[in-house]
Amino acid sequence: MPFSKLTSQPNDPLLQLITAFSEDPRPHKIDLGVGVFRDALGLTPVMRAIKAAEERLLASQKSKSYLGPEGDKGFVKAIAALLFGSSLPDRFIDGIQTPGGTGALRLAAELLVRSGVKRIFLASPTWANHNAIFRQVGLEIIAIPCFDIINQSFNLAGFIDTLATASSGDAVLLHGCCHNPLGIDPTPDEWGIIAQHIAKLNLLPLIDIAYQGLGSGWSEDAFGLQTVLAAAPFGILTYSCDKNFGLYRERTGAVYVTSPDQEQLDCILSNILCLARTNWSMPPDHGAALVRLILEDKELTHLWRTELEEMRRRTLSLREDLARLGQVGHINLAPLTQGKGMFATLPLSPNQVEWLRSQHAIYMAHSGRINIAGFRDGDVERFGTALKSLIA
Ligand code: PLP
């Protein structure tokens, strides 16, 4: 019988959380689960710059004919300029557009396997899909335990100790900024040390960046990736525009490779194009065309940057509100101001998370990850009260 070897797979717990939240009739419910940016009213509106670009695209687009597996070249170039600037004078860089950051990661993972890489090191915990994608293509995942969730801090020595067990040619995954699910990033000095070790051990860095501009600022958020890619001869970068341009369902991303040599870069790119062709043939156009229109136009770029900065400031001020709750039972919320981006993980057990949902209509991932942008006006106080009653 066809398909008889298949076993049913569990539903994605985060997607289940979305359904449970939407079916919950309690008016005061709080959604800290799904990883999308929200405004003070709990909405995820289309950015004004995107709306303006859509009007222009509608008026100017003359054809929907195929573009090619590389996607929108203007988009790829514009993002590269913003990402790398002039930070890598000794590297040749090229890339293609992909269906979201997830498409970029899948392609990068397949490229690693094609290149003979067997193992990938990554700081743990990481975004759940990282593990799933690397496992799917047959890479061995070596988890690096290097986060202290109680104190919301990064343990550089622990990271370097485990990294030192890697062999030449192994890959290492790093979050470019705004770590998901922890919000804990290395400091600029720590990035420098990490970069030196990657280069010394001859490892291949894969940097995933899905929240540029939502951490410390647009160029500050690129510091880590630029430092690592300048130190290692070769590197891969996967990019998502789905959060910082609010494009989510438009699936807008890119993958780039850096190389010390043009000929090798051409060879790598030809493999990337083959992989794209057999996976999705060509990426969806709409989101990338909008990003290109924004980045090629001074006025739209200014509008988009202003909106992005508003989003960044909103998460920062929510971090401060949470930190003011201070010590609640065993949870000290004060260090949350050191974190970056939309996510933080609290030291809560799955039972405690479940209790917060059933008793207080507060929804979050079972791991204790919260989407900080999910708090509407007044929600932080209610969250503090709920935590106190949980701990009491
Ligand atoms: N990388 C990280 C760290 C993410 O958190 C996400 C999305 O949540 C992605 C990549 C993928 O983003 P996209 O929605 O563009 O596929």
* Ligand 1 atom 12: residue of nearest CA: 101
Residue with CA at minimum distance from ligand 1 atom 9: 101
pLDDT for position 94? 98
Q: CA–CA separation, 35 vs 180, rounded Å? A: 9
Tens digit of pLDDT for each residue in 157-187? 999 999 999 999 999 999 999 999 999 999 9
pLDDT for res 155: 96
How high is the pLDDT of residue 330? 85
Q: pLDDT tens across 189-226, in order?
A: 999 999 999 999 999 999 999 999 999 999 999 999 99
Residue 1's pLDDT is what? 85
Mutational pocket test of ligand 1: of 124, 126, 129, 367, the residue with most ligand atoms within 8 Å of the beta carbon: 129
220 CA from centroid of ligand 1 (Å): 19
Q: For a substitution probing ligand 1, which of 34, 44, 79, 102 has the most ligand atoms within 8 Å of its CB?
A: 102
Domains and CATH numbers, the chain: 13-45+300-391 (3.90.1150.10), 51-298 (3.40.640.10)
Ligand 1 centroid, distance to 72 Cα (angstroms): 20
> Which of 12, 175, 242 to mutate for ligand 1's pocket (most ligand atoms within 8 Å of CB)?
242
Smallest CA-to-CA distance from 242 within 280, 286, 281, 205 is with 286
Question: What is the CB < 6 Å shell around ligand 1?
Answer: 35, 100-102, 127, 175, 180, 208, 210, 240, 242, 253
392 pLDDT tier (thresholds 50, 70, 90): low
Query: What number does the ligand 1 atom closest to the CA of 102 have?
Result: 16
Instruction: Give long-range contacts, CB 8 A cutoff, 24+ apart: 271-279.
Output: 271/111, 271/114, 272/95, 272/96, 272/107, 272/111, 273/69, 273/70, 273/96, 275/107, 275/110, 275/111, 275/114, 276/69, 276/70, 276/96, 276/98, 276/107, 277/69, 279/103, 279/106, 279/107, 279/110
